[in-house]
Structure 1
Amino acid sequence: MTFLTLLLQTPAAGGGFLQFLFPVAIGLVLYFFMIRPQQRKTAEAKSFRESLVKGTRVVTIGGLHGLLVEVGPETVLLEVERGQRLRFDRNAVARVAGNPAAEGATPTPNA
Structure 2
Amino acid sequence: MTFRAHQGVLLWMRFSSLQGPFCRPCGTAVFREMTGKTLWQGWWSPLSLVLFTPGTLIINGVALARINKLSAPVPGQPGQQLQPGTPVLRRPTSLAVILPLIWAGWVIANIINDLTS
TM interval, shorter chain, is under 0.3
Q: What is the TM-score normalised by the length of structure 2?
A: 0.24
Q: What is the TM-score normalised by the length of structure 1?
A: 0.25
Larger radius of gyration: 1
**1 or 2, which has the higher helix percentage?**
2
**1 or 2, which has the higher strand percentage?**
1
